[in-house]
Amino acid sequence: MNILERYHAMDYGPAPEARNEADAWLAARDFSKALFIGGDWKAAGGGKTFDTSDPSSGKLLAKVSDAGAAEIDAAVSAAAKALPKWAAATGYQRAKVLYAIGRAMQRHQRLFAVLESIDNGKPIRESRDIDVPLAIRHFIHHAGWAQALDKDFPGQKGVGVVGQIIPWNFPLLMLAWKIAPALAAGCAIVLKPAEFTPLTAILFAEICERSGVPKGVVNIVQGGPEAGAAIVNHPGIQKIAFTGSSEVGKIIRKATAGLGKKISLELGGKSAFVVFEDADLDSAVEGLVDGIWFNQGQVCCAGSRLLVQEGIAEAFIAKVKTRMSRLRVGSPLDKNTDIGPLVDLTQLDRVKGLVAEGAKQGAVCWQPDVALPSSGYYHLPTLATGVSPANILAQEEVFGPVLATMTFRNTEEAIELANNTRYGLAASVWSENVNLALHVAPQLKAGVVWVNGTNMFDAACGFGGYRESGFGREGGREGMLEYLSAKLPLGPAIKPAPATTKPVERAEGDAIDRTAKLFIGGKQVRPDGNYSLAVATAKGKLAGEVGLGSRKDIRDAVAAARACKAWPEATAYNRSQVLYYLAENLSGRVDEFGARLTELTGATAKAARDEVDQSIERLFLYAGLADKFEGRVHQPPARAVTLALHEPVGVVGIVVSDNAPLLGLISLVAPALAMGNTVVAVPSEKYPLLATDLYQVIEYSDVPAGAINIVTGRSAELAGVLARHDDVDGLWLFADAETCARAEADSVGNLKRVWTGNGRSLDWTSTEAAGDALLRRAVEVKNVWVPYGD
Amino acid sequence: MSSTSREAELSTDRLGPSKITPLPARTAANAPVPQAHGIARNPGMKLDLGFMESMRSVNRSALERRVASLTKRRSIKADNQAAWLLRAVACMDLTTLNSNDTDERVRRLCAKAVNPFRRDIVEGLGIAGEKIRPAAVCVYHPFVATAVDALRGSGIHVAAVSTAFPHGLTPLSTRLQEIEASVSDGADEIDVVIPRGLVFAAKWQELYNEIVTMRAACGEAHLKVILGTGDLATLRNVMLASMVAMMAGADFIKTSTGKESVNATLPVGLAMVRAIRAYFEETGYLIGFKPAGGISTAKASLDWLVLMKEELGRRWLEPDLFRFGASSLLTDIERQLEHHLTGHYSANHRHAMA
């Protein structure tokens, strides 16, 4: 075409990014020795390699060494060897290393971007303008955390050797999210990149070599599932951080059950993109482009479910289609490409299969008539309308450029539809009405909510999910906590309760017989099974009988806790007053509870009195903190504020051990209540009367029905029921080691947040077993991004 | 209008004759140039406050993000870049609006408009077969006759800024007389300004009425309505003022006079082209867009062309629907075109000044 023809055509034409530097880099390396272990480049045993190829052509890029269990073991050893010195380094020393990494990455920014696009298929504009700059930002941001550690996290230390497994959709960015906080915290690292996308991690390892990272502190081990499993199962690793599918996340949760490892899981999503009728519709369309057609839709937080208000649905869908027709599908290295190929043929087949199945289930799948390259794993952007909530496209994470659309009538229905998913990673809300947007954002079950925007990320703002999208946060203060640990004061080891109870002698005296029931939904109720459990005094006499709670009682208690809206919706000041009132009313019965403690546990009168006093003091503590353990406001490098809100976890199951039966119960229930959770508590199996005696105190302390539910019975059995209940959001478990391990394994049904003592109790008399350490577990951090400007 | 028909119209740039009846090509003061695209002139419509209400939602942050990524996500290289820069010239209102303008200065500008490129550049680019040059010359009223005279037979339009440019703050009768005077001197495009105070006071009816009378005063001459966006404070005001101007019969809406402290910016442009799109979807009429003020580099002109192509489509890259108001832009484009041909970076003094 001559210039005059081009003048008439006014097409963009190709704008290829040069790849010669990247090709030279590829040609100069021996990828069969690509395992970066202890500062050296190693081959895998037997010279085993896997292929990585260019998804835009299918051509082989490199044969990369494929680590097995032996190489992971070597990497963990190298990390363990390097750990003490790195952990003991000053914050300033670690900050200098993080800073050097960030700057060195900046100097090789374009090479990173081109390699990423070649290996993953993402458009160069995205790798260049989004992935790589954000990755750099993470290192420079975390240099500051390294130095601020002592000030901001007093008493906390790095967890040790960490194993990190990252996905292929944002290879370098996910590496940065994992490595930067771990380095700042003083951890040593074994990281496994995804098999589809090993290249930028290799370049990153080279940067580490030149940036003063001590040998063995960062180990980058390429490999597949065998290497991943070896990391998960390695006893020398104290923490696992994983980003990937919910399926694998659950396997990891199960595999690490009972091992006392810290884990953080950033898993899948089916994020809602909610457009209200008063939104800037044209901008919302662009938001969708950034939401679902970013990175070919291979984004865990992709806005893949469009919920649009009925009145504007037709006009909005028309706008979306028009916009889709302007998307350019093509070579990742063309600067005009909006959508590149999917990462691999298997992914392409999977996405095609899901679209076909969605269509079979009644969805109308529409694709624009845009040019498609003749080779490569390309999938056209796809709009599915007429999608019912039951359709596979509304339920399953597609991980491709496929948008499922539904309509809603009003705000309430929008929230209901948005939350009608097992996932809870992110959500977008579009409305020009700040009242509406800020009304909806807190009600969405998602770790990140963008108001009038989407897919905004920053190193200072936590990212992570609710529900089956995983737990733990990456970025910011919350992200640092995932790599730190604080020593809690341990109590005694907990022995499994005896299978059968000895018959107890009748007690003497002529007091009127009392029946201790269960406490569910604000009422004292008989156990569903109508069996009882005898409770013995310290001297082996019958102190009373309590209801033998069963799975049905747990079911009822969880239903009551879920139904209680008054407590989570109450103001923090209101919750605070109720907790104070509980303390006040308990203080009126100090003698009675003291006597009960002595009767059951044999504690001296003074020790019993101390425990009651401390219980009251602890209620006071959490009453006071109810309106003080607040979120923060982040200021990301954009004209936006990010509100890190502390929201209640939801329904929390609490299983209390026998040591300090009253103080232990209150030490766990009070912080959960203070943050607005509703609770299903299983009190000490041996001394349950201390809990049943509390019913009256609770009843006249203005606690809303359902906020506290108490089910007495066999701890181990009831803990299992709670662990397997998929409407329980959190479980705090102080029981024997086996019960703890089993509960962790059983929790995968809905990936509830489980906190156990791994068979140990806590010393509840210690002030270190109170305060922020517990409150942190009682909240989910939700980051609400609010861009502004008029 | 059903969504499907809207979509078909906008997404494909296929404008069926059934929708729009082309009017005869407008009569320029000079020999009329047959237009490549017959265009139905916007008759305007009743002031529809409900329609305006539906356009109120303009999210500045989102618009800023859109233009930031838009300009980074499209890249125009090599021969295409040369072609696009030629397009920028063809869509240019070559402008002089200085208080020290003289007839001589205006004649020089007109000469440059008639003959914008060095001969070696024209030949090197192979564009001799097509007269690529600015669409219009834009001047103050006293120079209209001079420009008409200098451009006679060239097909280049003469645009006059009018209605107490740049502020618009004289009696309406005075402003209308000004339009009539320029039209009678031969201007076939009139760039009027709106009194910004009417926007702040939300006196939409009054603004509408004024523009309707201005349009009437223009007669056959095309009406470009300058919003003075740098004064309007919010993109919402820009959007609403754009809607009023189009409803009142504007042929073009234009960003700035070049005299406000903030000139044409891409977010403002995005709001205005979205207004144009909404008006088209509602009425079927195509309204032109003219960013003006501060657009002085070839790179910036490409950003604006990309904005038009992405948001409105290929059809809006023709001079009957898109103009740059510019003075120094032409020279920068010439330098880029020379570089395209020679591989050498050029200098201003190597190109004839306007």
- The single-letter code of the amino acid at A590 is V
The pLDDT of residue A506 is 77
Long-range interactions of A368-371: CB distance < 8 A, separation 24+: A368/A321, A368/A324, A368/A325, A368/A327, A369/A325, A370/A324, A370/A325, A370/A327, A370/A328, A370/A329, A371/A329, A371/A330
Task: Please compute the mean of the pLDDT values over residues A225-241 and round it to a whole number.
Answer: 98
Weakest-pLDDT range from A216-220, A542-546, B6-10: B6-10
For residue B38, what pLDDT band results from cuts at 50, 70 and 90? Answer: low
CB B265 within 8 A of CB B307: no
Cβ of A13 under 8 Å from any chain B Cβ?
yes
Domains of chain A: 20-266 (3.40.605.10), 272-464 (3.40.309.10), 515-778 (3.40.605.10)
CB neighbour list of residue A376: distance below 8 Å, 6 or more residues apart: A55, A56, A57, A58, A121, A341
Spot the catalytic one: A71, A195, A266, A685. Answer: A266
Q: What is the spatial distance between Cα A302 and Cα A426, in angstroms, rounded to a whole number?
A: 8
Weakest-pLDDT range from A262-266, A503-507, A646-650: A503-507
Phi, psi angles (nearest 5°) of residue A45? -60, 135
SS3 assignment, position B169: coil
By C-alpha distance, the chain B residue nearest A640 is B61
Please write down the HEC assignment for all residues of A464-520: CCCHHHEECCECHHHHHHCCEEECCCEEEECCCCCCCCCCCECCCCCCCCCCECEEE
CB A394 within 8 A of CB A439: no
Structure tokens at A682: 């299983």
Inform me whether the pLDDT recorded for A427 exceeds 50. yes
The pLDDT of residue A230 is 98
Cβ of A286 under 8 Å from any chain B Cβ?
yes
The kind and range of the H/E element at A648 are strand A640-648
The pLDDT of residue A613 is 98
How many beta-carbon pairs under 8 angstroms link A with B?
Answer: 119
Cβ of A285 under 8 Å from any chain B Cβ?
no
Tell me if A286 and B274 make a contact (CB, 8 A cut-off): no
Structure tokens at B137: 């010359």
On chain A, the residues whose CB falls within 8 A of the CB of B310 are: 326
Q: What is the spatial distance between Cα B82 and Cα A9, in angstroms, rounded to a whole number?
A: 13
Q: How far is CA B20 from CA A134, A365, B221, B283, in A?
A: 49, 32, 20, 10
State chain A's maximal CA–CA distance in angstroms: 110
The pLDDT of residue B150 is 98
The pLDDT of residue B18 is 36
CB neighbour list of residue A23: distance below 8 Å, 6 or more residues apart: none
Burial grade of A789 (CB within 10 A; 0-12, 13-18, 19 or more):
middle
pLDDT digits (tens, 9 = 90+) for B193-210: 999 999 999 999 999 999
Share of chain B above pLDDT 70, in %: 89
pLDDT digits (tens, 9 = 90+) for A179-226: 999 999 999 999 999 999 999 999 999 999 999 999 999 999 999 999
Entry field: residues in chain B: 354
Mean pLDDT of chain B: 90
Q: What is the spatial distance between Cα A273 and Cα A450, in angstroms, rounded to a whole number?
A: 9
CB B93 within 8 A of CB B135: yes
pLDDT digits (tens, 9 = 90+) for B98-149: 999 999 999 999 999 999 999 999 999 999 999 999 999 999 999 999 999 9
DSSP code per residue over B270-307 = HHHHHHHHHHHHHH----EEE-BSS--SHHHHHHHHHH
Structure tokens at B335: 């330098």
pLDDT digits (tens, 9 = 90+) for A106-156: 999 999 999 999 999 999 999 999 999 999 999 999 999 999 999 999 999
Cβ of A3 under 8 Å from any chain B Cβ?
yes
Q: What is the spatial distance between Cα A135 and Cα A117, in angstroms, rounded to a whole number?
A: 15
Q: What is the spatial distance between Cα A295 and Cα A55, in angstroms, rounded to a whole number?
A: 13
Task: Please compute the mean of the pLDDT values over residues A506-524 and round it to a whole number.
Answer: 89
- Find the CB nearest A283 among B4, B7, B63: B63
For residue A501, what pLDDT band results from cuts at 50, 70 and 90? Answer: low
Distance from CA of A402 to the nearest CA of B (A): 20
The pLDDT of residue B116 is 96
Rounded to two decimals, the ipTM of the complex is 0.93
Distance from CA of B223 to the nearest CA of A (A): 26
Mean pLDDT of chain A: 97
Share of chain B above pLDDT 90, in %: 88
The pLDDT of residue A498 is 85
- Find the CB nearest A432 among B12, B57, B74: B57
Q: What is the spatial distance between Cα B309 and Cα B45, in angstroms, rounded to a whole number?
A: 26
SS3 assignment, position A199: helix
Inform me whether the pLDDT recorded for B20 exceeds 50. no
Distance from CA of B89 to the nearest CA of A (A): 11
Spot the catalytic one: B191, B231, B251, B332. Answer: B191
Tell me if A789 and B57 make a contact (CB, 8 A cut-off): no
**Among this protein's residues, is B224 annotated catalytic?**
no
Cβ of A647 under 8 Å from any chain B Cβ?
no
Spot the catalytic one: B231, B290, B309, B320. Answer: B290
On chain A, the residues whose CB falls within 8 A of the CB of B309 are: 10
Structure tokens at A579: 């907790």
Task: Please compute the mean of the pLDDT values over residues A488-506 and round it to a whole number.
Answer: 84
pLDDT digits (tens, 9 = 90+) for A441-456: 999 999 999 999 999 9
On chain A, the residues whose CB falls within 8 A of the CB of B4 are: 318
> Best interface-test mutation with B: which of A293, A456, A790 has the largest number of B CBs within 10 A?
A790
SS3 assignment, position B170: coil
> Within a 13 Å sphere around the CA of B241, how many CA atoms are in the beta-carbon half?
32
**Among this protein's residues, is B131 annotated catalytic?**
no
* A79 vs A508, higher pLDDT: A79
Chain A (330-349) residues lying within 8 Å, Cβ to Cβ, of chain B = 335-336, 338
Tell me if B77 and A14 make a contact (CB, 8 A cut-off): yes
Tell the residue number behind the tokens 């119960």, with chain if given. Answer: A665
CB B158 within 8 A of CB B137: yes
Inform me whether the pLDDT recorded for B29 exceeds 80. no
pLDDT digits (tens, 9 = 90+) for A735-789: 999 999 999 999 999 999 999 999 999 999 999 999 999 999 999 999 999 999 9
For residue B36, what pLDDT band results from cuts at 50, 70 and 90? Answer: very low
Chain A (469-498) residues lying within 8 Å, Cβ to Cβ, of chain B = none
CB neighbour list of residue A323: distance below 8 Å, 6 or more residues apart: A285, A286, A288, A289
- Is the CATH number 3.40.50.140 carried by domain B48-350? no
Share of chain A above pLDDT 90, in %: 97
On chain B, the residues whose CB falls within 8 A of the CB of A10 are: 83-84, 87, 305, 309, 314, 317
Cβ of A364 under 8 Å from any chain B Cβ?
no
On chain B, the residues whose CB falls within 8 A of the CB of A788 are: 61
The pLDDT of residue A499 is 73
CB A425 within 8 A of CB A301: yes
Q: What is the spatial distance between Cα B143 and Cα B105, in angstroms, rounded to a whole number?
A: 10
- The single-letter code of the amino acid at A660 is A
CB neighbour list of residue A412: distance below 8 Å, 6 or more residues apart: none
> Within a 13 Å sphere around the CA of B291, how many CA atoms are in the beta-carbon half?
26
Burial grade of B17 (CB within 10 A; 0-12, 13-18, 19 or more):
exposed
For residue B93, what pLDDT band results from cuts at 50, 70 and 90? Answer: very high
**Among this protein's residues, is B149 annotated catalytic?**
no
The pLDDT of residue B28 is 37
Distance from CA of A301 to the nearest CA of B (A): 19
How many Å is the Cα radius of gyration of chain A?
A: 28
Distance from CA of B64 to the nearest CA of A (A): 10
Share of chain A above pLDDT 70, in %: 100
pLDDT digits (tens, 9 = 90+) for B213-223: 999 999 999 99
The pLDDT of residue A656 is 97
